[in-house]
Structure 1
Amino acid sequence: MKTKIILIFVFLSSALLVNAQYFNAGIKAGVVGSQVDGDGFGGYDKLGLDAGLFVNYQLSMRTALQFEMEYIQKGSSHSPNVEKGDYSQYKMRVNYLQLPVLFQYKLAQNFSVETGPAFGLLLSNYEERDQWEIESNPFRKFALSWIVGVNYKISENWNANFRYDYSLMGIRQKPAPFDRYIFFQYGQFCNTLVISIQYIINHAKAK
């Protein structure tokens, strides 16, 4: 089932990139810093990658819709700090195929802001504490988050993007010991910062 969904997404994205007469279309890649609210630790210590495709449709002189398909690595990481008497070690890796749908508004010639939901499909996960793998509390197969970001146009083909991505629903199937109460529910929530570069490979034709 998961493979079929991925193949459908790849096919649709390829079709958009090839036939996007009225879309700006391109590729993106960046770095991720993440933590999980509700795991008992703090800090954007889990580093990851973000890469994917996007199509951007201009609604007006100042507004646009951007659709993306991306592979993003989220999770949490904590290393021992012997000087402070902290001997605990923890790793959580949750890797998603994520589909953001973003509304963008141009503030100035080279600056725009964006916001919108992102729908995620869990591709893989791994968790360990004190070097022992944990499998007792599985993760949800589907995820939903909200994105707020800013774009800077470097040149005609290059954009820089910074965004904040936060879970709207807990990422686990069952309660966990340090769950947070957020959005009227207890759970663990991915808290993610992403810095990426976007390259436009297809410019929209004038209408």
Structure 2
Amino acid sequence: MYRFKLIFGLLLLLVLSIDNLVSAQSIRADENPVFNGEKKFTAGIAVGANLSQVDGDGLSGFSKIGFNAGPVVNVRFNEKVALGFELLYSQKGSKSIGAGYSPSSGSYFGRYSIKVNYAEVPLILYYYLQPKYQFGIGASYNVLINSKEQYDDGLNPVVPFDETLYSFNKSNIDALISGSMVLWQGLVLQARYQYSLTPIRDFDKVPPGFGGDNEKNNFFAIRLMYLF
């Protein structure tokens, strides 16, 4: 819970900081039926980037950059509350470079990466702090499309791990929180944080020496949405 509060505070600070750079809108959010509660159903498209890592792989740092995009639909219940539904293509994983030493070759840098691509179905409950600002909390169901895991020590051929022996789970569930801000007309900036509630891979499927626990996705997403 502390982690969620801290990360949401950072996301909200980011959104508010960007707001200082946006001084005017051609149509104010409280005058726009998409955001002021007049329009009950809205749809649009979201495009953004994931900054991700995999907890449990023994590495740290949000070094893996991926793409996320897809259609979004919102149902407005009243002036303050809406339900959002999305269907996304989302690239996640981890990437790290670490120093090593070989008696025969000396020092080297090893590169390890996990790429996991998902069809993602988030369901988000939005609360409108005011028409221009929204807070969201929800969950996302992820279905694995494909995966790739490899290690490169720069000395030997790149080692791809056997997907049948070290397979990732076919599906998993994330918890998510988000902060959104209307930039211009139907254009919305959103910062989102997600963390796996269920593993993306169980420990007995992790390659020996490349992790110490069940693995979970841990990532931020920065997105632009256009709603109409």
The answer to whether TM tops 0.5 is yes
Q: 1:146 to 1:50 in 2, by over 3 A?
A: same
1:179 matches 2:179: no
Deviations 1:114-146 (A, max 9, x none): 010100110010000122101231011111101
Aligned partner of 1:154: which letter?
Answer: L
Aligned partner of 2:44: which letter?
Answer: G
Give the 4+ runs in structure 1 shifted more than 6 A: none
Larger Rg: 2
Q: Tell me the distance in 2 between the aligned counterparts of 1:81 and 1:104.
A: 44
| Structure 1 residue 108: Cα displacement | 2.4
Is the contact made by 1:137 and 1:173 (CA closer than 8 Å) also made in structure 2? no
1:143 matches 2:172: yes
Q: Tell me the distance in 2 between the aligned counterparts of 1:123 and 1:179.
A: 25
Aligned to 2:188: 159
1:190 matches 2:197: no
Structure 1: unaligned runs, 5 residues or longer: 1-20, 181-186, 203-207
Matching residue within 124, 127, 131 for 1:102: 124
Matching residue within 68, 72, 86 for 2:90: 72
Aligned partner of 2:147: which letter?
Answer: N
Is the contact made by 1:54 and 1:68 (CA closer than 8 Å) also made in structure 2? yes
* TM-score (normalised: structure 2): 0.72
SS in 2 for 1:33: strand
| Structure 1 residue 47: Cα displacement | 0.5
1:63 matches 2:85: no
Is the contact made by 2:203 and 2:215 (CA closer than 8 Å) also made in structure 1? no
Q: Tell me the distance in 2 between the aligned counterparts of 1:152 and 1:81.
A: 41
Q: Tell me the distance in 1 between the aligned counterparts of 2:217 and 2:52.
A: 7
Q: 1:63 to 1:89 in 2, by over 3 A?
A: same
Aligned to 1:25: 43
| Structure 1 residue 86: Cα displacement | 6.8
Matching residue within 58, 70, 87 for 2:109: 87
Provide the alpha-carbon RMSD of the alignment: 1.7
Structure 2: unaligned runs, 5 residues or longer: 1-38, 101-106, 153-157
| Structure 1 residue 63: Cα displacement | 0.7
Deviations 1:69-96 (A, max 9, x none): 00000000012457xx673210100000
Q: Tell me the distance in 2 between the aligned counterparts of 1:173 and 1:26.
A: 36
| Structure 1 residue 110: Cα displacement | 1.0
Aligned partner of 1:118: which letter?
Answer: S
SS in 1 for 2:45: strand
